[in-house]
Amino acid sequence: MTEFDTITKRRYHQAGWHPGLRESATFDRNTIHEIQRAAREGIYDIRGWGAKRRVPHFDDLLFLGASVSRYPLEGYRERCDTDVVLGTRYAKKPLHIDIPITIAGMSFGALSAPAKEALGRGASALGTSTTTGDGGMTPEERQSSKTLVYQLLPSRYGMNPDDLRKADAIEVVVGQGAKPGGGGMLLGQKISDRVADMRDLPKGIDQRSACRHPDWTGPDDLEIKIEELREITDWEKPIFIKIGATRTYFDVALAVKAGADVIVLDGMQGGTAATQDVFIEHVGIPILAAIPQAVESLRELGMHREVQLIVSGGIRNGADAAKALALGADAVSIGVGALIALGDNSPEYEEGYEEIGSSAGYYDDWHEGRDPVGISTQDDELAARFDPELGGRRLANYLRTMTLEAQTLARACGKSHVHNLEPEDLVALTIEAAAMARVPLAGTGWIPGREGAGA
């Protein structure tokens, strides 16, 4: 290579061009980096957040909106309601929430106590529910949450029968979308005295939660377990069953048979505090594909809208929420979106992220407990940086915005309640999304897999 060539090449590189250097689509830079990391460390990568690669999602759907054949509702004069009742099947005290967006279960341990408190504050400000997680209920969380769902997990970490009675509903966690078939992880650096005490486990030791419940192995046992929970709580509280989206049609039918009041369905893009990357990216199905399966199962049992369906996994805004409702869900639940609203990955903390080898917008090492924002940590000094009142206000604003967005779209489709949205309001941009969501490809009447559907 001549000196001229070298100089020219350097200039190209400086301008961000790499002529003649071709990246492999199969062995791209992330793949190369991961092979090098594995070769160095000899263990799989663990991280938080959800799936990062692109899979069919709500962005692949569009609302048709009203025109001549339908008429829209007026934004500022005509009502579009958003309230939801959860647990109408058996519970004496179903939950009445004001918006169709709830806060998903996230563990105290994964998140700091002030972060959990902020989730309660934000949810309560908008009249919706928040959820405990692995590791039990903190008093701050109970106090700040008007409506609190208590999770019963395979690990039983932090499980306290008195807390079952203090909760407004109980969620039996069978699985999570990020890791169906897998258990939770909480690494030693996040096991503070308080976390260890609540979980009855030693401080500073890595904890791997069980992937299945110790006292039941199938749907018949689950039925007995649910009966027990109803007895303990005097048949007052709705019982939710949370499943990761896999064989959804059958899992939903079995959950209904076991006695669920509400089914929480978490798709593969769903967030996690700490899981093997290979699990996050390669197990489960996208929520877009799972909702129609769940709705079909509920319909065939005559239980659609009788057993409510809450869905989650990559929900970011009011459009995602409205599309999930149009496909037949009663409400959606959010995890990662809520953490971002609290301040996670905020550029305000760029310096802090750089110090730990990350950057705002990319930080997913939530398991390490070094979060400069103070959300996914148990380090007292870092946690003290986070203001639960401010975080709660930001979350409330985010929930309010999502609700306004969903209402705007519902009104444009002529609906006076967000629950009146229906698959007929949607079209798909790709054949994959049309087949999964079971709505027509835009501009056609074609739903792949359904012969004879007309234009």
Token pair listed for 446: 């074609």
How far are the Cα atoms of 57, 135, 153, 172, 365 from residue 231, in angstroms, in the given order? Answer: 40, 23, 18, 15, 41
Query: Does residue 172 bind ligand FMN (CB under 6 A)?
Result: no
Least distance to ligand FMN, CB of residue 452, Å = 36
The answer to whether residue 284 forms part of the interface with ligand FMN (CB under 6 A) is no
Residue closest to 268 by CA, chosen among 95, 49, 454, 22: 49
Residues 192 and 133: beta-carbon distance below 8 Å: no
| Beta strand pairing call for 84-86 and 426-428 | unpaired
**Closest CB 183 distance from ligand FMN, rounded Å:** 11
Residue 15 CB, nearest distance to ligand FMN (Å)? 37
CA distances from 85 to 8, 45, 173, 278, 338 (A): 66, 40, 20, 37, 22
Q: Are 380 and 112 in contact (CB under 8 A)?
A: no
Applying CB under 6 A, the span of 54-62, 232-240, 330-338, 426-434 interacting with ligand FMN comes to 330-338
Q: Which of 122, 180, 337, 343 binds ligand FMN (CB under 6 A)?
A: 337
Question: 401, 340, 400, 118: which is closest to 348 by C-alpha?
Answer: 340
Total number of residues binding ligand FMN (CB under 6 A)? Answer: 30
Residue corresponding to tokens 């076991």: 258
34 to 93, contacts with ligand FMN by CB under 6 A?
A: 48, 50
What's the DSSP call for residue 91? -
Is residue 84 classed as helix, strand or coil in its secondary structure? strand
The residue sitting closest to ligand FMN, measured at its beta carbon, is 335
334 near ligand FMN, judged by CB under 6 A? yes
**Quick one: tokens of 211?**
């992937």
Q: Which is nearer to ligand FMN, 279 or 446 (CB)?
A: 279
Minimum distance of ligand FMN from residue 14's CB (angstroms): 38
Residue 372 found at the interface with ligand FMN (CB under 6 A): no
CB of 17 to ligand FMN, least distance (A): 36
Interaction residues for ligand FMN, span 310-329 (CB under 6 A): 312-315
Residue type, 240: F
Contact stretch for ligand FMN (CB under 6 A) within 265-273, 292-300, 352-360, 399-407: 265-273
Closest distance of CB 198 from ligand FMN, Å: 13
Is residue 183 a contact point for ligand FMN (CB under 6 A)?
Answer: no
Alpha-carbon gap, residue 24 to 80, rounded angstroms: 50
Cα–Cα dist 379/109, whole Å? 11
If one asks whether residue 173 binds ligand FMN (CB under 6 A), the answer comes out as: yes
Any idea of the CA torsion for 344, 348, 350, 353, to the nearest 10 degrees? -40
User: Do the Cβ atoms of 399 and 128 come closer than 8 Å?
Assistant: yes
Interaction pattern, residues 84-123, with ligand FMN; x per rule: CB under 6 A: --------------------xxxx--xx------------
Residue 350 C-beta: closest distance to ligand FMN, Å: 21
Contact residues toward ligand FMN (CB under 6 A) are 48, 50, 104-107, 110-111, 133-134, 151, 173, 176-177, 242, 266, 269-273, 312-315, 334-337, 366
